[in-house]
Structure formats: structure tokens, C-alpha cells
Structure 1
Amino acid sequence: MQANYKVWEMDHIINSPKPNEVDAPLVMELSEPNDLNKLSLWDIDFRQIEPGQMKTVIRARSGNSVNLIELGISKAVHQNGVSPKGKISLGLPCQDSLSTWQGQNMETAQLVSFGSSDEFDGVGFGEFRGTTISIDVQEAERLADMLGFDIPSALRRSVRYDVDEKSESLAALKKISGRLLNNASVSVLHEEEAIISNVLIAATSFEQTTDKSSPKSRSRAVKKAIEMMISSEGESLEVSQICHEIGVSWRTLDRAFSEKFGISPKQYYLRMRLNWVRTDLLQRAPGDSISDIINGRGYWHMGKFAQDYYKMFDELPSRTTVNLG
């Protein structure tokens, strides 16, 4: 099936904002791999570097926030380009499919990041095959916030991930993407959160294992970060801002908090602020507005605050004030 006969269908599969849940995986043979640029949000230049007739086959599946494309090329290629804007994109190369990525050897790497609108460069062996996962940045940020993560910095740039091949999150990504691309009865929409969660977990694990800081420096980083959190009071700081101010990387601070408290710096800061609000509510004077107290601690989205408060204390702020009596 040649690309020019199915352009409209490929565009629907990859770019549709609200696809039908029963959409089957689209399988298509392209006249050449660069036809992918006409059919998707990718901007890639594939250059064949191995002689012979080359065959290119793709499978595609899409949900509201996640797009999957499996690409199979029968000859060695040099690929470079720019990843889709507004997306976080990763690649799951099949074993021995990639030779180099961003100038690094790919012998042990199981996962690569294309970043978000970032330039990339890679060389594939003959019989190259791999799957790309593109995730809407806003949805990734929403789920990261729910899980208490910051988006790992490596996900925003083109890098090679040295994720343990026995990683549960990596195994889950391969299993879910394979199932979606080969089984029409599996709903993409029902698997989106699982895909995004496992991407975040795999990326966070990579950042922690590549951290080279000493125990002493991590202890010092925790102390400085908490001091900054305390001094912020009515503000709401981003963890990236804290890292910048105290002069440590995100991966160092995340590892430091995980070791000391078993939670991320974002989760610690959230719970610290929730404790402040609870103390303020318990000390509330007659006539003091609950919303003013909450706003005074830097919370402006009341619905989200109420959810976080309930998760932490198993009661709503209004119940806390009732308990005073």
C-alpha cells in the first residue's frame, strides 16, 4: 500500500485530537522513509547508506495525548531532524537496530529521547526497526504533577538513556506499545496514563543512576532546599527554580530527597505547604476567611488544593475548621 493512497488516513491516525477508540492500527508501506514527513508532525531526513532496494513499513496508532509510530527500514540509514513541537518524544529501538545516537554508541541503550522540538542525529543498522512514543507536553506535566515528579530534564532534550534492560517501566512500555500497535481491540485511551507514567518513571530512574554527587553534597543540598522552601512562605516555587538558586542539578536534588525522605522534592514541598495551611486553619480567628488563608500560602486553584489537602489529611479544609469546635 503506497503512501499517496492513504495520506488522509495517516493524518487522521496521527493528528486527530479525539480519535475513535476502536481505530485499528494503520499499517502502510512507504515509497521512501521521508514520506513520513508528509503524514505526521515529524521533520526527519533519512539517508540510505547501505546499497540495495530499501523497504519502509510503518504502523501507527493515536490517542488523545499519545501517538505511536513503529518504523521498519530494511537498509542502514543516517537519520537526523527535529522532533514534533509541543510533544515529548522517545524511541524504543529494537535490539541491534541503532549504531549511534547523538554521537554515542548504542550497544547497551534501550531507550532514546528525541526531546521536545530538539535536533537529533542517529545511525541505524540494516533491518532497522523501532517505535516512537510522542506525548503531549501538557498532559505529561499534568500527570507528573499528580505523581509528584518534575519532568526530568533529559526528556526535554535529545539523549541516550542507559536504562537497565530489566527495568519494569521499560518492559511495560515495550509491552503496552506492542499490544496497541498489533491489536485493534486494545483501547489507546485506556493505556495513555500507563504509557506516560512509565516514561516518567524510566526517565527519573535514569537521572538518579547517572548522578555522581557525594552523600555529603546531597545532604547539604537537602538542607539548602528546605531553607529556601521555608523562606518562600506565600510563594509557590518550582523545583527547577530551587535547583538553580542552590546550585545543584535536578537529578542530585531528587536523589537526595528520595534517600532522606522516600519522596521527591516536589512532594516534600507540597506537603510542607499543606501543613502550613492546616496549622493556619487550626489557628484561625473568628471572621478569618478560609480562602484568604489558603491564598496566603500561594494556592489559587481551589479545586486542586482541596484534592491535595484531602489526600494528605483525609478531610477537607472545611472539616478541619469544624473540628475546632
Structure 2
Amino acid sequence: MGMLTDHNGLHAGPPCGEARPICAASTHDIDEQAALLRGWNQTYDQISAGPFEGALLETQLASVHLFREVTSNALHQTGALPTGTIAVGVPLALRGNATFCGRACNGAQLHVFSGNDAFEFLSPCGLDIAGFVLAESDLCSALTADEVETLIPTLASPHLRAADHGAAFRLRRIFTDVCEVLMQSPDVMHDPARFSSMSRDVIAALATALDHAQDPGSDGMSPARRASIVRQARDLVTQSPDAYTRVEELCRTLGVSRRALQYSFQETLGLKPSTYLRAVRMNGARRAMKEASSVAEAATLWGFWHFGRFARDYKAMFGELPSEAFRRVHGISTAQ
């Protein structure tokens, strides 16, 4: 399973027959590889010469199926997904010429595999792609009513989708983070609060990436209206920070689109709303440590489920590790 170990730091889990959070399979046959993603009705034809080597790593995170597929040779892939399913891929590595649904791809775009038609993907040698599969209804749960009306129709057919660099980066990072947490701490599956936060964050990251990929256009809002949106958002977060840990929760309460909130914060404060929310959550976790029995308890309370990343981000913001802060506020000697 060396194919699933690379610069992203991911390592293959146990075979799919074992009941573990992460499972993996490897093949030397393109038909077997095509069949690994169940329900996709895929057919692979090998285009480049040489022996084939393929692998699939996958996990189920509540309602979201996550997978990572690695293939060694250029392939012509065709397939179709069931109605009501949303499937999106984001390349981790895509080297060489590739086309998806008739358009050239360079690894920066999102691949929407689902829709009413079959997809067609001419993948290059050395493809490494992460995928997210979920029911359309579950994606809608992370959208405002307006976004459901504007975004969901754009997913009606398979296509290559231009992606905002930051949103695509976050999508890749959250995939890596989920795999790391599930492989290093499989007991997270039995921690309802932490597992729920992880699942919601994955769906939110996917919704953000898909929404940011649309042509933003102009919302026609006045500066005064945008300033008002920011004031209302700040009041909500200040009064009930634990109820507003994600951008879509603010959007629903305020009755505005994700893009309108983004523009309002950017133009009024020079910040992204997600940056503001994360800072509020980080401060909340810092205060929670004064009463919590552990750093993990405080982090989980504020929706941080990747404790390693939380520790790094906490130190970057406050100048000390959360473990150091916890010992300091509780008067615990470092010798203990």
C-alpha cells in the first residue's frame, strides 16, 4: 500500500473487509479498480502502456463517504451515479494531460461526477484524487434557501468546475485532517460531539468550495447594508458564540447568501467571515480551558476536532501551546 503514502502524510488503513474507520484496497487490474467505488457504474480503459497499479482508501463520516483514489496509468473513465447523489473530486496530484467532460483540467478545478448524465474522464498517469460523496439533501442542509435555489441546479450534470484557490485548499486540507484523525484516534467514532463537528465541517467545506466556484457577479448591496450585516453577525456571534460556529448558520439567521456575508465582512472589516468565526471559537476555547478538565474537552466544546491542528493554530494566535495555557491557568507544574 505504498501508493497511499506520499507528501500529504496519508497512510493506508486496513483492508476494507475489516471494521475500521479507514479501509483500503489495492489492485493490479483496471476492472477491479473501477469496481472499488460501489454504485458508480464505472468502466476503465487503459490508455498508456505498462503494468497497472491502483489503490483506494475510503471512510464513511456520518452521511459523507470520503475516498482517495490513486492510479498509475492514463485511463479513460466513464460512469454514472444514482439520482439524488452529489459526488465531487478534488485532485491531490494530477500530472500530464487530462480532460473531464470535454474540458482540459489542470488539477486546480473541482470535478463534479454526479448529475443526470454520465461523466467522462481521461485521467493522466499518476492520478491522485480525493472524493466526497453525499446525498443532495445533506448538502442542502449546509446551504441557505437562496443557495439551494442557485447552487443545486448547477450540479445537474457532470462538469469541471473552476474553484476558488482558498476554498479548494481547505477542501484538500479537511480531507487530510479527517483521515489523520480517524487513523490516529479511531475512538473519535464514539465521541458524538467531536464526530458531529467533523462531519458538519466536511459538508460545510464542500458547500463553500462549490459555492465559491460560481461566478460571483454583483449583489448590488450598498456599503451601509453590508456594514449592517456585519454588525448583526457580530452581535449574534458575541451573544451566542456556540450557536454560530459556521458561516452557513449565520447566513440562515441573517437571511443572506454566503457570498453576501463574505463581501460584507471583506469590505467592512477586511476579514473573511470564516476567519472572524474561527478567532471567536479560538478565544472561546481559551476561556473554556479555565473550567474544563482537559484541553481536549475545551477544544471539542468549541468544535475543534483535529487536536494537533488546534494546538498549532492556538500557539500561532496566543504565543503558547494550549497544554501550556492549561497548566498555567490551573497552576499545574510542568514537572507533574
The TM-score range, normalised by the shorter chain, is 0.5 to 0.7
TM norm structure 2: 0.53
Structure 2 residue 108 is the aligned partner of structure 1 residue 109: yes
Deviation by residue 1:2-35 (Cα, 9 ceiling, x = unmatched) = xxxxxxx74x89xxxxxx8xx3311211242433
- Quote the residue 1:288 is aligned against: none
- Given that residues 58 and 66 in structure 2 are in contact (C-alpha distance below 8 angstroms), is that contact kept between their aligned partners in structure 1? yes
- Quote the residue 1:258 is aligned against: 260
Could you tell me how far 1:200 is from its partner in structure 2?
1.5
- Given that residues 113 and 154 in structure 1 are in contact (C-alpha distance below 8 angstroms), is that contact kept between their aligned partners in structure 2? no
Secondary structure of 1:83's counterpart equals: coil
In structure 1, what is the Cα distance between the partners aligned to 2:122 and 2:159? 14
Could you tell me how far 1:120 is from its partner in structure 2?
0.6
In structure 2, what is the Cα distance between the partners aligned to 1:38 and 1:55? 13
In structure 2, what is the Cα distance between the partners aligned to 1:38 and 1:163? 27
In structure 1, what is the Cα distance between the partners aligned to 2:208 and 2:37? 30
- Given that residues 174 and 202 in structure 2 are in contact (C-alpha distance below 8 angstroms), is that contact kept between their aligned partners in structure 1? yes
In structure 2, what is the Cα distance between the partners aligned to 1:117 and 1:62? 24
- Quote the residue 2:253 is aligned against: none
2:206 aligned to 196, 199, 214, which one?
199
Structure 2 residue 32 is the aligned partner of structure 1 residue 25: no
- Given that residues 77 and 123 in structure 1 are in contact (C-alpha distance below 8 angstroms), is that contact kept between their aligned partners in structure 2? yes
Indicate how the Cα distance of structure 1 residues 34 and 179 shifts in structure 2: closer, same or farther if over 3 A, else same.
Answer: farther
Secondary structure of 1:196's counterpart equals: helix
Could you tell me how far 1:84 is from its partner in structure 2?
3.9
In structure 2, what is the Cα distance between the partners aligned to 1:196 and 1:181? 15
Across the aligned residues of Structure 1 and Structure 2, the Cα RMSD in angstroms comes to 3.4
Which amino acid counterpart does residue 202 of structure 1 have in structure 2?
Answer: A
- Given that residues 61 and 180 in structure 1 are in contact (C-alpha distance below 8 angstroms), is that contact kept between their aligned partners in structure 2? no
In structure 1, what is the Cα distance between the partners aligned to 2:148 and 2:67? 26
Structure 2 unaligned regions, length at least 5: 2-14, 190-194, 221-255, 266-336
In structure 1, what is the Cα distance between the partners aligned to 2:113 and 2:215? 20
- Given that residues 54 and 74 in structure 1 are in contact (C-alpha distance below 8 angstroms), is that contact kept between their aligned partners in structure 2? yes
- Given that residues 168 and 209 in structure 2 are in contact (C-alpha distance below 8 angstroms), is that contact kept between their aligned partners in structure 1? yes
- The 10-residue stretch of structure 1 (197-206 or 150-159) with the greater mean CA deviation from structure 2: 150-159
Structure 1 unaligned regions, length at least 5: 2-8, 14-19, 220-253, 264-325
TM norm structure 1: 0.54
- Residue correspondence of structure 1 range 209-288 to structure 2 within 5 A: 209=216, 211=217, 258=260
- Quote the residue 2:169 is aligned against: 171
Query: Across the two proteins, how many residue pairs are aligned to each other?
Result: 205
- Quote the residue 2:142 is aligned against: 143
Indicate how the Cα distance of structure 1 residues 39 and 175 shifts in structure 2: closer, same or farther if over 3 A, else same.
Answer: closer
Indicate how the Cα distance of structure 1 residues 177 and 33 shifts in structure 2: closer, same or farther if over 3 A, else same.
Answer: farther
Identity of aligned residues (%): 17
Could you tell me how far 1:164 is from its partner in structure 2?
2.9
- Quote the residue 2:159 is aligned against: 159
- Quote the residue 1:279 is aligned against: none
Indicate how the Cα distance of structure 1 residues 88 and 48 shifts in structure 2: closer, same or farther if over 3 A, else same.
Answer: same
- Given that residues 57 and 72 in structure 1 are in contact (C-alpha distance below 8 angstroms), is that contact kept between their aligned partners in structure 2? yes
Could you tell me how far 1:66 is from its partner in structure 2?
0.3
In structure 2, what is the Cα distance between the partners aligned to 1:108 and 1:127? 12
Which amino acid counterpart does residue 118 of structure 2 have in structure 1?
Answer: E
- Quote the residue 1:300 is aligned against: none
Deviation by residue 1:58-81 (Cα, 9 ceiling, x = unmatched) = 101012210011111111111111
Which amino acid counterpart does residue 101 of structure 2 have in structure 1?
Answer: Q
Q: Which has the larger radius of gyration?
A: 1
Indicate how the Cα distance of structure 1 residues 160 and 46 shifts in structure 2: closer, same or farther if over 3 A, else same.
Answer: same
- Quote the residue 2:121 is aligned against: 122
Which amino acid counterpart does residue 29 of structure 1 have in structure 2?
Answer: S
